[in-house]
Structure 1
């Protein structure tokens, strides 16, 4: 699919993965709308790149509908990339004091990652479905973000692993659901990605995780996520797949 001349939404677009994706899609000619809750960073991107920023709660229907409407005002919406963040949550299923994990904490993590991703996907899909079909009937593509924790979550990651595992589980079903509409669905499952959000702690994380990655022996870069997202958009035969981006890393138990 040709990116130039389309509009795109990037949910979580001010973060490390999202901002790199915004820059990549913008550079390829898309009219990008940045959806996030970090207003200061969003305004900086607006001024620097000329993209649009819309404050967006990924779990709220009206909020996501507003960012979609903004994108549709710029051109045919054919691209949705969702890499929004949220609270990590966690802890052991049964704590050292014998108490069970908090049900509310589990629900919060599921809502933040899984339910919000579903909300963005369903609304974006409905909007993309209204676009004119391109060659071979394609209308657009949805890129979701899981994590390698969906496959080998570490001790204390149960809520996060469950949420990201849910995104993995939705991928093929969503692709099948949307196939009559010419909409593809692909999920990226990143490993350890070094983003600016880590700040000074980034050096310590690199020293810890880098040697554990088979090759290349370093943490991933946001630009590598963005490059993969662009490839997914442009390659019409990528559909219904979950792609690990992890340098062959497999998480140990802890």
Structure 2
């Protein structure tokens, strides 16, 4: 989240001395190197301007699927910035342990992301501590069935569950968190941001991934209309589509299967780290021009047929 403070503009048609240009370039470089600075220098049509980064310390966030994997990494990132994080995850998850690990900056709320009452409780828990300005939807599930396999047609219950948990659960968090954000006064020109988690399977679905690809594709498809819905409220909506990441979802695979997945990644030729996903979420929170779009974070991998 940023506010803009105008710097001195160059007179129209004039050029700044080379020493001034060098000085401005040094300011840009220094601001990017030293991330502790509360601003960055950016070049626009009129010269350089200083964009002040609004400190997120003292706000709260709700993160579904926050007890493990991508969600937990996002929670850790935000907590280190002074954000109070509410981890919403299933009762059987390690949410209580993870909240205890994060300390006073976190609380665990058990519940199913499809359950309106559970999500409302998580939103209320966050808002009771500090203004809720961030929501990150990481809860999801995957199932693998060919449309017609050796045992006949794919089970419809598995298909429906995958869509409900991923699509309905994500939208449930977005709508309830955004309704709470709408009550707040804008800071730096905005009230908050919601971030959803899709997958490159939304674009490169493999055999057996009809349900998962449809679910993640649904999240990608809702991103722009939700952003447009929330724009008058000064709330942003973004989606991240991770590639092959080292998360608990790979725990069911053999080492050989994981190695096969790793070999598909061009560069860097490895599995993604959950903290790299979290770093992108953190940047989305900080950058007010990111809205209504899905960002792939996949090291240039494009999934094959199988």
TM-score scaled by length of structure 2: 0.78
Using the alignment, how far apart are the partners of 2:176 and 2:252 within structure 1? 37
**More contact order relative to length (CA 8 Å, sep ≥ 6):** 1
**Structure 2: stretches of 5+ with no match in the other structure:** 2-54
**1:199-235 residue CA offsets vs partner (Å, 9 max, x unmatched):** 5957444421222111000010100000000000000
Question: Counterparts of 1:207-218 in structure 2 under 5 Å?
Answer: 207-218=259-270
Moved more, 188-197 or 65-74: 188-197
- Larger of the two Rg values belongs to structure: 2
1:47 alignment partner in structure 2 = 100
Q: Conserved in 2, the CA contact under 8 Å of 1:14 and 1:38?
A: no
Higher relative helix content: 1
What is the DSSP-based 3-state SS (H/G/I as helix, E as strand, rest coil) of the residue aligned with 1:54? strand
Q: Conserved in 1, the CA contact under 8 Å of 2:238 and 2:293?
A: yes
Question: Counterparts of 1:25-36 in structure 2 under 5 Å?
Answer: 25-36=78-89
1:12 alignment partner in structure 2 = 65
Note if 1:252 corresponds to 2:298.
no
Q: Conserved in 2, the CA contact under 8 Å of 1:82 and 1:145?
A: yes
1:66 alignment partner in structure 2 = 121
Using the alignment, how far apart are the partners of 1:171 and 1:121 within structure 2? 11
2:181 alignment partner in structure 1 = 128
**CA RMSD, Structure 1 to Structure 2 (Å):** 1.6
**Structure 1: stretches of 5+ with no match in the other structure:** none
Q: What count of residue pairs does the alignment treat as equivalent? A: 251
Q: Moved runs in structure 1, 4+ residues, more than 6 A?
A: none
Higher relative strand content: 2
2:289 alignment partner in structure 1 = 237
Q: Conserved in 1, the CA contact under 8 Å of 2:194 and 2:237?
A: yes
Q: Conserved in 2, the CA contact under 8 Å of 1:17 and 1:225?
A: yes
Using the alignment, how far apart are the partners of 1:125 and 1:252 within structure 2? 37
Is the alpha carbon distance of 1:123 and 1:218 closer, same or farther for their aligned partners in structure 2, counting shifts above 3 Å? same
